[in-house]
Structure 1
């Protein structure tokens, strides 16, 4: 994965629209699927049910929610490569990659302390990606920590007299760190 420039206003607008669409879609589809399942397979003996008690259709409502999730996931998979979703999907993938790196961060930092090039490349990518995501998500509270980490890493790279570029990063490099 390579870092790309993202238009912040377009990303925020599209992310908000996707979030609203997902919430609305899940809500409406869950209600529709639940109602259809209850109409087809539910308990209709309303005269036997006291006010405020369970109708016994919980499993059908849950199945309706599951169907709604499947439909929404199917739609998201189909539209993820569209121009509208480009920025949103890129940031989702970048955050997922950050999670993978974070799970190995202790061993990566240990290797970077030994001036291993791959570890330095991974950390450079990680911090640059964090900086981009924090900027896009308006996370100004932790931006100074990332800036400090970047400065420390750049100092370490200069001390080791190595050249590190973000273009060198490849996800396969993570396999060496557990």
Structure 2
């Protein structure tokens, strides 16, 4: 997955709309379904936990299926892109210790993965206004760049492929 330039303001606006809409849909559908089931199948003991739980599960399914169906819509372009980026970063994060160990052993593929990881983290953190650790990220990137330079390597974002993680 290659990094894309996206409009941060549009992304934040659309993300907020998706979050609020999802929360409202979940709350309203859960309550409506649970109340409908309670009305149709009342419990004499007064415990309606199972109907409330079923209402929440059904509400989650409604929200999940709706998001799944509209994810490719233009309105969701930035939100879906960030969601996919977070998935890729999560896959790298799970193998990060092994990747870093391979970088110490001058593994070129590991350096490509780590370079992508650092660039993608910077991109994501700037989009989400999570700038607290950007200084640390800069130090890590400089260390990796120095190592690549010492090995006469030119690390390019285009060289990254998720398949490179298979070996770690």
Partners in 2 of 1:175 and 1:78 — Cα distance? Answer: 30
User: Considering only CA atoms, is the larger Rg found in Structure 1 or Structure 2?
Assistant: 1
| Distance in structure 2 (CA, Å) of the matches to 1:37 and 1:118 | 56
**1:136 counterpart (127, 132, 138):** 127
Contact 1:42 1:60 in 2 (8 A): no
Aligned-residue Cα RMSD (Å) equals: 1.0
The aligned residue for residue 84 of structure 1 is 75
1:25 match: 25
1:12-161 pair list within 5 angstroms: 12-43=12-43, 45=44, 55-161=46-152
Q: TM-score, normalised by structure 1?
A: 0.91
The CA distance in 2 between the partners of 1:30 and 1:3, in whole Å, is 37
What do residues 75-123 of structure 1 show as CA deviations (whole Å, max 9, x unaligned)? 0000001111111111111111111111111110011112211101100
Give the conservation status (yes or no) of the 8 Å contact 1:108–1:119: yes
Query: What residue ranges of structure 2 are gaps of 5+ in the alignment?
Result: none
- Deviation at residue 175 of structure 1 after TM alignment: 0.8
Q: Distance in 2 between matches of 1:75 and 1:144?
A: 39
Query: What does the per-residue CA deviation read over 1:25-46, in whole Å, with 9 as the maximum and x for residues that have no partner?
Result: 1000100111111111222x4x
Using structure 2 for the length normalisation, give the TM-score. Answer: 0.97
Distance in 2 between the 1:92 and 1:34 partners?
30
Where does structure 1 differ by over 3 angstroms across 4 or more consecutive aligned residues? none
Aligned length: 168
